[in-house]
Each structure stands twice: as C-alpha cells, then as structure tokens.
C-alpha cells in the first residue's frame, strides 16, 4: 500500500518531465550541474545523486548523445572527467524543472491545508532520518 503509493508518485513525476524530453534521472543530473555553477567530475555527481559510479558513466553517455552535456578534461587530475552542461542542456533543464515543480504543486493541491503541513513535515523527517 505504501509501496504502491510511492510508485504512483514517481510515475506521475516521470510522466510530467517526459514532455521536456527528459527522464527524472537526466533532469537530476542537469539540476546538480546548474546548481554547482560549473562542471563537475563524474565521481562527484555519483556521490551527490547517491548512485554508483558506473551508473553515472552511462547517464553522461546518454546526456552527451542528446547534446545536453559535454565531457571535458580535468586540468587538475588526469584521471578525472568533468561533465559540462551545454546551452541546449540549460534550456531543457529550465523546461523540465518547471514541469516537475508544477506537478509537485498540483500534487499538494489535492490535499487540505492541514494535510499539506503534516505531509511537508513528514517529508522533512524522512529526508533527514
């Protein structure tokens, strides 16, 4: 029941973002690159998204094929590869994050004011604990 609800939520958000030609995973990568204000090593991205390094390799492969990100050398460590967001990546990020925010907004509007407060508090606790 809890599981089913959780899957429903994810499916709704995924679908909202798909109109911008993005998946939640790809949007998440772009989000971190934009917020960082500059290119990031793949290993740092993997840490921040709490995923395995090999997964980030594959994600950047796809984003690079889409033209939303470019791999550039790290001048300070030749082992490292930096992910750099492109102009097109920035445009897609804007579009996708707006769609995501709208869907979350719409989600909360299905709750009463009291439920909104309770749920927000619950999310904070869950995301911290």
Tell me how far, at minimum, the Cβ of 69 lies from a second copy, in Å. 21
Compute φ and ψ for 38, nearest 5 degrees: 180, 175
Rounded CA-CA distance 22/17 in Å is 6
| Residue among 87 and 114 whose Cβ is closer to a second copy | 114
The residue count for binding a second copy (CB under 8 A) is 28
The answer to whether residue 119 forms part of the interface with a second copy (CB under 8 A) is: yes
Stretch that binds DNA, among 30-38, 47-55, 103-111, 114-122 (CB under 7 A): 47-55
Rounded CA-CA distance 26/127 in Å is 21
Rounded CA-CA distance 44/40 in Å is 6
Strands 40-41 and 69-73, sheet pairing: unpaired
Residues of this chain that bind a second copy (CB under 8 A): 1-10, 13, 24, 100, 104, 107, 110-111, 114-115, 118-119, 121-123, 125-127, 129
């Amino acid at each position: 029941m809890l599981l089913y609800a959780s899957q429903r939520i994810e499916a709704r958000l995924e679908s909202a973002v798909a109109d911008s030609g993005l998946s939640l995973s790809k949007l998440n990568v772009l989000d971190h690159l934009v917020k960082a204000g500059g290119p990031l090593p793949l290993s740092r991205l993997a840490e921040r998204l709490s995923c395995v390094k090999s997964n980030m390799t594959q994600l950047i492969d796809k984003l690079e094929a889409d033209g939303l990100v470019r791999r550039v050398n790290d001048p300070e460590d030749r082992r490292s590869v930096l992910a750099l967001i492109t102009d097109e990546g920035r445009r897609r990020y804007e579009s996708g994050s707006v769609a995501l925010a709208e869907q979350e907004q719409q989600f909360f509007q299905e709750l009463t004011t009291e439920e909104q407060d309770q749920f927000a508090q619950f999310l904070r606790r869950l995301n911290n604990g």
